[in-house]
Amino acid sequence: MTAEPLKRFSRDDGPQARPGAPAEPDPDTARLVLRTVRESDLPELRRLDQEVFGEVAYPAFLLRQLFDMYAEHFLVLDDGTGRLRGYVLAGTSALRADSWILGLGVAHDRRRHGLGRELMVAILDRLRRSGIEEVRLTVEPGNRAALLLYRSLGFRPEGPDGGLRRDYFGPGMDRRILRLDLAARAAAPQG
Ligand SMILES: CC(C)(COP(=O)(O)OP(=O)(O)OC[C@H]1O[C@@H](n2cnc3c(N)ncnc32)[C@H](O)[C@@H]1OP(=O)(O)O)[C@@H](O)C(=O)NCCC(=O)NCCS
């Protein structure tokens, strides 16, 4: 599929804007282009995924097949020098009109500039426009940054114990399951 540049969400008027925040966006961050992934991105995407997730990064063959299946909902932040600085991937089921966030990562040196939020806002917008009604994801119980980000976007725990599922990915790999009702969110005024 053809990579498609997407509208950038301005950090000056986005939900992450705070009183006292610098008026000018970080020039390195401002140069980034948010677009759908291309086949030629795969080696660089693998490098980024390994940088972000280390030993739990996707194997190359799986990343390839996730691209084959979900390129429409696979967004990257391209810095224009051949480097990707962030990505988000959603796997969708048209039959059930639901989706799972299968990956979200921002390069270490680009964190806390609103990029994770930008990727999530963009993918949720795409999913909503594709008719997806429900989005779920897993998060490590101790991953405070991700939990705070998801919570601020309206995700809530699914099930008892704050969505905690013991050994979800195997022994000792607990996860929380969070859920966002996109249909309800579209119907209710946000603010
Ligand atoms: C989670 C992650 C994607 C956030 O990306 P980011 O670009 O740094 O996040 P943003 O700058 O957009 O921050 C969005 C919100 O996340 C939360 N957040 C992000 N980093 C945080 C940190 N270090 N401590 C506390 N809260 C944090 C805040 O609520 C923040 O909102 P605020 O800026 O209004 O306070 C990034 O930390 C990352 O890639 N982590 C490793 C991979 C990972 O954990 N992915 C998620 C798997 S479920």
Profile the chain (191 residues) by mean pLDDT over runs of 10 residues. Answer: 50 36 60 96 98 97 98 97 97 90 98 98 96 97 98 97 97 97 72 44
Give the CATH number for residue 45: 3.40.630.30
The predicted pLDDT at position 29 comes to 75
106 CB within 6 A, ligand 1: yes
The predicted pLDDT at position 186 comes to 65
Q: Which of 83, 114, 132 is the last residue of a domain?
A: 132
| Residue 162: domain span | 137-191
Beta strands in the chain (DSSP E): 33-36, 74-78, 84-93, 98-106, 134-139, 156-157, 164-165, 175-181
Q: Report the distance separating Cα 23 and Cα 164, nearest Å.
A: 40
Ligand 1: residue of 137, 139, 149 to mutate (most ligand atoms within 8 A of CB) is 149
The predicted pLDDT at position 8 comes to 55
Q: Which of 117, 132, 147 is the last residue of a domain?
A: 132
> Is 128 in the same domain as 141?
no
DSSP annotation of 5? B
Q: What's the 147 CA to ligand 1 centre distance in angstroms?
A: 8
Closest CA to 184 of 156, 163, 150: 156
Task: State how beta strands 98-106 and 84-93 pair.
Answer: antiparallel
DSSP annotation of 188? S
**What single-letter amino acid sits at 122?**
A
Domains contained in the chain, number: 2
> Is 26 in the same domain as 87?
yes
> Is 42 in the same domain as 76?
yes
**What single-letter amino acid sits at 57?**
A
Contact 87, 77 (CB under 8 A): yes
Closest CA to 155 of 99, 96, 93: 99
Contact 78, 33 (CB under 8 A): yes
Q: Point out the ligand 1 atom lying closest to the alpha carbon of residue 112.
A: 11
